[in-house]
Amino acid sequence: MKRILLSLAAVTLCLPVLQAQVKKSTVPGVTNFAQVETTVACAGATTPASLAGIKKMGFAAVINLRLATEPGADIDASAAAAKAAGINFIHLPFSGSAPDPAVADQFLKIIAEPGNQPAFIHCASGARAAAMWFIKRVIVDKWEEVRAMDEAVELGLTSQGLKTFAQNYVQARKAGTGAIAGNVKEPFGAALAGAAVQATNTSTSTVYKATSSPQGGYTLASLPAGIYDVALTIPGVGPFSQKGITVTAANTNRIDINLSEGSQLSTLGEDPSAIAADLKRHNPPSGPTPRTADGKPDLSGVWWSPRTVDPGKAEFLAPALEITRKRAEDNRKDSPQAHCLPNAVTRVGPLYEFVQTKAFLVMISDDDSPGFHQIYLDGRPHPKDPDPLWYGHNIGRWEGDTLVVDRVNFEDQVWVDQDAHPHSDKLHIVERYHRVDLGHLETEVTVEDPGVLARPWTMKRISDLAPGEEIREFICTENNRDLPHLVGR
């Protein structure tokens, strides 16, 4: 009996350390004040005048998580009041709607400094402060997540978005992974929502993706340590690419993406707002895939320009990149399209049409000169004697319900893509078309050219059917006023 009583006493003595005591109290000028023993206090909005009282309570530092743009934040006045009171003031702006793991990295370093302990952490409501404390409890204090979350909720962590962010962050830290995060902005500085940012591991070629929030923030989380290339390509603006980013465990690299205008300076089809408006017009019908009399999928119809769902990884060789750089510096004044010659070989749209028969498929592309080419389906091979053509020589074959188009023999002057990449006489393109249903057409394009590419480059796209639309004639040479203004450098 004595042994049992001793064991029960031991259990009782251990119970208080399982959960730190959160004490809530009213502090003049402070919203939602909640203190955890003597180690930390989390709170919401805090007036500058209240900081002298915070100092008298024994706190060594104030960590302000509010954004300078928040109503009533008054960062400068708070910093001045903290200085007058003799308390450390750290402004660590942390967005609750677009939380950045790099800020959490900074917080862990700041809270570990002996001179900042005990700390008074505050935001507007207390939720962001509690989220940061949850992260500290799990990463530094080695608490179990359930226990740490219970405490964080009591401190004021009510936002599900912040809970998810904090949980994902600690999981990434435990897994020994890092992250890349930042903001995406349009050419004129506005936040860009819905942008698909991708990071490619240069060793494994694994692609990681994230979509920017309504405030423009993005986070590529749980990245294994390694070297990454970050890219973003959206219609109407210049592409973004940054290579050789080193990701290490438990660290976040901040890469802000400030997009630039394309060569046409947001005009002549490069206006992102106009492109976005066009996308809203897409209303593809539902229904089964239509078929021809012989049972093959019928690709016929007018289609919106394909949107890229996976840009792949194009590894152009140094000489090709130098040519591309010079073309860009010259404002692409030698672009075939500017001279009313055919578009880049991988460019389609803004509308295009397929007309399918048993013997051949005709592709008609809007905003192109002459804007059509034939794909032979009658089993003929490519010609033995190459005859270079702007659209190449195109033959197709069916693999189940997928049409595989093989393209070779391209004219030297044609560009590979809108980014002005060149090609060699070894250019070989394979397109795979799959009409998954009535309203959608999936396309996979593989560009092979050992003369300019280190390895084949594959991109994936999808087009929406455009019922009610038609392709009108396009006479490029009629009133072409663009060319005289493309003077280069």
pLDDT at 310: 85
Q: Which residues pair with 183 in a beta bridge?
A: 217
> Could you give the CA distance from residue 413 to residue 336 in angstroms, rounded to a whole number?
7
Q: What is the end-to-end Cα distance of the chain in Å, rounded?
A: 95
Cα four-point dihedral sign 347, 343, 298, 378: negative
Class of domain 282-475: mainly beta
CB of 166 closer than 8 Å to CB of 156: no
pLDDT at 10: 30
Q: Where are the domains of the chain?
A: 17-174, 178-258, 282-475
> Could you give the CA distance from residue 139 to residue 171 in angstroms, rounded to a whole number?
10
pLDDT at 257: 96
pLDDT at 307: 86
Class of domain 17-174: alpha beta
Class of domain 178-258: mainly beta
CA angle 251, 256, 257 (to 5 degrees): 135
pLDDT at 46: 92
Fold match, 178-258 / 282-475: no
Give, as one character, the DSSP assignment of residue 466: -
pTM for the predicted model, two decimal places: 0.59
CA angle 472, 473, 477 (to 5 degrees): 140
Contacts of residue 205, Cβ cutoff 8 Å, sequence gap at least 6:
313
Mean pLDDT by 10 residues, the chain (489 residues): 32 39 90 85 90 94 94 94 96 91 92 93 94 94 94 93 92 89 90 89 88 89 92 81 91 92 61 68 91 96 90 92 91 86 91 96 93 96 92 97 97 93 97 97 98 96 94 82 62
> Could you give the CA distance from residue 243 to residue 204 in angstroms, rounded to a whole number?
15
CB of 247 closer than 8 Å to CB of 178: yes
CA atoms within 13 A on the CB side of 282: 19
